[in-house]
Chains A and B, each alone.
Chain A
Amino acid sequence: MKNIRNFCIVAHIDHGKSTLADRLLETTETIASRDMTKQVLDDMELEQERGITIKLHAIQMKYKARDKQEYILNLIDTPGHVDFSYEVSRSLAACEGAILVVDATQGVEAQTISNLYLAIDAGLEIIPFINKIDLPSAKTMIDTVKHQVMDLVGCTEDEILMGSAKSGLGTDEVLEAIVKRISPPKDNPDAPLRALIFDSVFDEYRGAVAYVRVFDGTIKEKDQIKFFSTGKQFQAEDIGILEMQRQRTGALSAGDVGYIIANVKDVHDTKVGDTITSVDRPAAEPLPGYKEVKPMVFSGMYPSNSDDFAELRDALEKLKINDAALLFEPETSLALGFGFRCGFLGLLHMEIIRERLEREYNQALINTVPNVEYRVTKMNKEVLLVDNPAFMPTPGEIEKVEEPFIKAQIIAPPEYIGPIMKLCMDRRGVHKNTTYLSPERADIHYELPLAEIIFDFYDKLKSLSRGYASLDYDFLEYRESELVKLDILLNGEPVDALSTIVHRVKSYEWGRKLCSKLRELIPRQMFEVAIQAAIGSKVIARETISAMRKNVLAKCYGGDISRKRKLLEKQKEGKKRMKQVGRVEIPQEAFLAVLSMED
């Protein structure tokens, strides 16, 4: 055990985490360099395209150190986006140390800080690594960045490693530091079994595969095991370590990182953060830190063609096995029929799920406007959690509505403080304080309603700061707000899937913009279409789509009939992709109109 090192790499997005991981794998000859696809850890197509790590992975490396001993290094990868902070925290909990990668040209960013704090909270040894020092623009920045890191981590200058993950400069020093500075696992092989699930994937043939870090005891194949959160029991069938592929070893002991296959068929039984123990000699307590992941953003997902409901459910089930944070339950919309209300960690998480459903499962989807979960206290003191605006009680029944607030940390050059504060004010933010990490980096703290940042806040922040501002946020608390439900009516009929919940002060403007956006998005129809926005029975905005004037092909003689029929068949296909509410055909993008509203 003294030669095992379990570690992870944390960084702000694009600071070079995956590139460094690639170099470590290459240097330790875990993978031959000719087999390297760029950034091997991100093996999902989508991850490679977006250049972000969505799912965690783990890999074992063997490293012959300068002290002539061989070490087992388990690299546990972490997701790099703010939506996935719980998953990050579970990965960190499986480690004893973390390499903190900071881009020499960018310096400390919001996620550098948030991830670092998570790592410090988890009691990890931090090895700072300043990356990209070979870039020309690094020269002028490097001293500043060093000081930022020293302030942040509380280390000395000598403890900071520097190099270039791209060229491999400094990789050897990183490996040596892992061996020397990160302590070996202090786990107890004789205590009752406790293994932390830090990830799980679904294997079509083997069922759920749990990726674990064993803290106490030993687990062997044929052992009866138990999951703490559900109490369910299984027999361990296949146990091993994680190299480029799974390597069966038959057992894992305290300190090890590996996988367990136990014929777990139910997709919800291998939850990230849960503890596995043995049935014969169970541990008294699970490992700390497990929580049911709570989604923050909700949206309806409906099959474009209502016949595909069962298919969509199967696809969501399959995605959920890899994604403990995804929640979904069936719901019905008058406008859209049968579908699912899905809960996501954030907007990026939602986009990823949607894209995966479309690409990997070939689902044609209608996605409704995302919203947060509201806490509604009714006059009769009953408290409801409302995750779908359509289910908001009528104004007369409501005593108060509370919405989730977050604390946001924005790091940006001081010249952008003005525009950032204006943006936050527009979004109903409460300024807490602004400090300076260095003269060039302001650290701005705000409290904001989550609902105000889930749409385009991040994009706006990025564009007004020319990409320099970074954002991190955390749930704070529920707070009472003056919120109203805004309904959209088409030709007098309310379209439940277009209802939104907005702050009263913003409701008129919101209603006006939404109506005008819908006017753009809904094509002309055979009949005139009236679009109205209403709060309760009061109409606050109106637009009209005038009836289509002409749509008829002039000629249809003997030679034209087949062609004409095929044309009509194609048009009918196009119409099938639209949703019909009353007599109005609504294109799918209209259900996300709010997202494309201009300020």
Chain B
Amino acid sequence: MSSLYLHIPFCEHKCIYCDFYSIAPKENPEHDNALRERFLSSLKHEITMRSEEDRFHSSYETIFFGGGTPSLLSPSTIDEILNLLSRSFHIRTDAEVTLETNPGTVDLETLKAFRSAGVNRISMGIQSFHDDDLKFLSRIHSSLEAKECVRNAYEAGFENVSFDLIFALPSQTRERWEANLQQAMELHPTHISCYSLIVEPNTPLYRMVESKQVILLNTEDDAALYEYTIECLTSHGYEQYEVSNFAKPGFKSRHNSNYWNHSNYLGFGPSAHSYWNGLRWWNISNVVGYSERLEQRLLPVVGEERLTPQQLVEEEIFLGLRSEGINVAGFQSRHQRDVMNDHRSTFEALLDQQMMVFDGEKLRLTPKGYMVCDEICASLQ
């Protein structure tokens, strides 16, 4: 099963920690509007061009609007794009259609309209229920607005709502994070993503850390918060199905799971990545450059890599270990290799230490294993 991703590179404001490609408005609103229109028509071009390639005639089960802030687009624009996608590709009727939504960018009416356009899952960038955290993260919304937005989403008919939360903020205490999780769960989302704050190069946060304006939480406390997160959410009926992702039964993100299953996906928009049967390529990370190419009927691809058999194996292992495990039989049939045998001594030690479990079908990490997932992956030589 395959997936479609659309990268909408516009934000009202760039948050200090974010390194996804997006642009915030400049002084001249007319210019900004023109840029947006130009992007939308290019996006449609790209969709059409790709749909003309036979190799992408597949059945698609998920669509994901990411960014940037895709909820800044009008419902009618989302509707147009979804219609175009339906005409261009075979989209399953039960497809998961996610829209990343930031509180403070949508009201009830807009949400209703998104729902009517075919969006059936909202991934909400809440990040924190503490206003001072939101201020630090330079988010545009308040805690109150976030809660209202969630209620509006329900009222608009969304049954599948996911929250993004960030922990390990500077000097964050266990109590403050606990309160965040508590307030989140009181709103009954079907899915919660909890990310430990990452300092990405080329972000304002990076420079603030470099200049010691911001002191990051130490690893020990970060680890304790993460441990607590897993404990708290799993005991409240959220299953951990990836390092940072938790879902109520039946509400795992099918789109994200496809990334981790090494399934095929097509990405549209600037900076979007695509993966198709061992080939990966990515688009230019510049909205003007993106449009210019498409206006000349050129694909905006700026890089690609063909994975070697060894790289395929490596990716499948680390993606599997990050998420729901490695299916031993499936691995054997895809790669003619016995993954257990290849890494016997490491896996045995992990099983012995309860960092990994084997249910007869899958080798998967336990919460204790997720904590040191990268260390485990790096030690598989």
Contact = CB atoms under 8 A, between A and B. Distances in A.
Given A549-B220, A565-B311, A559 B372 contact: no
Interface in A543-564: 548-559, 561-562, 564
A527 interface: yes
Interface in B219-234: 219-220, 222-224, 226
Contacts of A558: 5, 259, 265, 267, 272-275
B222 A561 contact: no
A528 to B, nearest CB: 10
22 contacts: A525-B375, A526-B355, A526-B375, A526-B376, A549-B219, A550-B219, A550-B223, A551-B375, A552-B370, A555-B195, A556-B260, A559-B267, A559-B271, A559-B273, A562-B280, A562-B305, A565-B314, A568-B314, A568-B378, A569-B314, A575-B379, A585-B379
A576 B275 CA distance: 30
Contacts of A569: 314
Contacts of A554: 195-196, 198, 243-244
Contact of B374 (A553, A559, A561, A574): A553
Given A549-B220, A559-B273, A565-B315, A576 B381 contact: yes
Contacts of B272: 558-559
B282 interface: yes
B381 A552 contact: no
A553 B198 contact: yes
Given A550-B226, A558-B273, 11 more contacts: A526-B349, A549-B219, A550-B372, A552-B374, A553-B198, A554-B244, A556-B260, A557-B259, A559-B282, A561-B315, A574-B378
B319 A561 contact: yes
B288 to A, nearest CB: 20
Given A550-B226, A552-B370, A565 B219 contact: no
B202 interface: no
A398 to B, nearest CB: 37
Contacts of A66: none
Interface in B187-246: 195-196, 198, 219-220, 222-224, 226, 243-244
Nearest to A563: B273
A548 B370 CA distance: 12
A454 B372 CA distance: 42
A433 interface: no
Interface residues of A, number: 28
Interface string A188-199: 000000000000
Nearest to B345: A583
Contacts of B226: 550
B113 to A, nearest CB: 27
Listed residue (A564, A574, A576) with the most chain B CB atoms within 10 angstroms of its CB: A564
Contacts of B223: 549-550
Interface string B310-348: 010011001100100000000000000000000001000
A549 B224 CA distance: 8
A329 B238 CA distance: 62
Interface in B278-318: 280, 282, 305, 311, 314-315, 318
Interface string A284-312: 00000000000000000000000000000
A572 interface: yes
Contacts of A551: 371-375
A571 interface: yes
Contacts, number: 102
A575 to B, nearest CB: 6
A526 B195 contact: no
B353 interface: yes
B143 interface: no
B352 to A, nearest CB: 9
Contact of B353 (A527, A555, A562, A575): A527
Nearest to B372: A551
Contacts of A559: 267, 271-273, 282
Nearest to A551: B375
Nearest to B305: A562
Interface of B: 5, 195-196, 198, 219-220, 222-224, 226, 243-244, 256, 259-260, 265, 267, 271-275, 280, 282, 305, 311, 314-315, 318-319, 322, 345, 349-350, 353, 355, 370-381
A271 B274 CA distance: 66
Contacts of B198: 553-555
A552 B321 CA distance: 11
List of 7 A-B pairs having minimum Cβ-Cβ separation, nearest first:
A549-B223, A550-B223, A571-B378, A552-B373, A554-B195, A551-B375, A559-B273
A568 B375 CA distance: 9
A552 B353 contact: no
A562 B349 CA distance: 28
Nearest to A553: B374
A557 B377 CA distance: 17
B256 A552 contact: no
Nearest to B303: A562
A564 B198 CA distance: 14
A555 B194 CA distance: 10
B125 to A, nearest CB: 13
A361 B294 CA distance: 53
Contacts of A556: 243, 259-260, 319, 322
Contacts of B243: 552-554, 556
Listed residue (B305, B315, B372) with the most chain A CB atoms within 10 angstroms of its CB: B372
Nearest to B321: A552
A379 to B, nearest CB: 40
Nearest to A528: B353
Contact of A549 (B265, B274, B371, B380): B371
A46 to B, nearest CB: 34
Contacts of B345: 583
Given A555-B244, A559-B282, A550 B379 contact: no
A527 B349 contact: yes
Listed residue (B314, B375, B381) with the most chain A CB atoms within 10 angstroms of its CB: B375
Listed residue (B260, B282, B318) with the most chain A CB atoms within 10 angstroms of its CB: B318
Contacts of B260: 556
B375 A548 contact: yes
A574 B379 CA distance: 10
B372 A552 contact: yes
A549 B349 CA distance: 17
A546 B350 CA distance: 16
Contact of B371 (A550, A574, A583): A550
A549 B228 CA distance: 13
A430 to B, nearest CB: 50
Nearest to B66: A557
A576 B371 CA distance: 22
Nearest to A547: B372
Contacts of A549: 219-220, 223-224, 371-372
Contacts of B315: 561, 565
Contacts of A548: 372, 375
Contacts of B322: 552, 556
B23 to A, nearest CB: 17
Contacts of B372: 526, 548-552
